[in-house]
Structure 1
Amino acid sequence: MSQLAPGLARIRIKNLRLRTFIGIKEEEILNQQDILINATILYPADDAVSVNQIEQALNYRTITKAMIRHVEENRFALLERLTQELLDIVMQHQQVHYAEVEVDKPHALRFAESVSITLSAARH
């Protein structure tokens, strides 16, 4: 994914730190934990570039707000489920050609900085 096709833009949402209920152990069910979200989104930006108006661009603020709301208003047993649901939020936007979402759960393992799950989707 290092090289973009002409006309495609890559949006990166980096290190979105939120708190939510995630896990299956009692302490995880009772206490919110930090998670870290990174997302990469590819969409055709030709119109946004030529017209220079927000209506022609993929509004990453709208996507980010929807992700924040979803994380803060729900509980999750599995990191996989949370990651898929965030990916689904991104893919609701028809302009998106490809998206990848990674969710990190810091300190999930005793000797590791974090554990993460990454999922992706493409529109054909």
Structure 2
Amino acid sequence: MPQLEPGMARIRIKNLSLRTYIGIKEEEILNKQDVIINLSIVYPASDAVQVNDIQHALNYRTITKAVIQHVENNRFALLERLTQEILDLVMTYDTVLYAQVEVDKPHALRFAESVSISLAARRG
């Protein structure tokens, strides 16, 4: 995760718990499962700090609602695909300079708490 430069802000959305169709086995295709999503988003926040107005900030509520809608209304065979689609969605916001997404699939392995995939993107 990159070091924050002056004027930049990092938003972290932690442990967003959703249910979706994720997997390749018949039982996974037929039944929704829990996924846990963590987002880290970096954007320039100087204006938001100075003006103290939501119009100058990256609205994390709007982003979270978009992620919820996308995850809960689609089907995914692979964690990699789900993670990439969330990352792509976050990067559609022009002020996002960097984002990292981690998606956990609890109890995907018998003796593990979860399996997760992390992906990141940086705006040129």
Shared fold (TM-score greater than 0.5)? yes
Paired positions, count: 124
Partner residue of 1:118?
A: 118
The alignment-based identity, stated in percent, is: 75
- Is 1:51 equivalent to 2:51 in the alignment? yes
Partner residue of 1:35?
A: 35
CA shift for structure 1 position 2 = 6.7
Structure 2 residue matching 1:111: 3-state secondary structure: coil
CA shift for structure 1 position 4 = 1.2
What are the residue-to-residue correspondences of 1:1-124 with 2, within 5 Å?
A: 1=1, 3-124=3-124
Structure 1 residue matching 2:70: 3-state secondary structure: helix
Structure 2 residue matching 1:70: 3-state secondary structure: helix
* Large movers: runs of 4+ above 4 Å: none
- Distance in 2 (alpha carbons) for counterparts of 1:33 and 1:45: 36
TM-score when normalising by structure 1: 0.98
Q: 1:87 is matched by which residue type in structure 2? A: L
- Distance in 1 (alpha carbons) for counterparts of 2:14 and 2:53: 24
Q: 2:64 is matched by which residue type in structure 1? A: T
CA shift for structure 1 position 3 = 3.5
TM-score when normalising by structure 2: 0.98
- Distance in 1 (alpha carbons) for counterparts of 2:26 and 2:116: 21
Give the unaligned 5+ runs of structure 1.
none
CA shift for structure 1 position 122 = 0.1
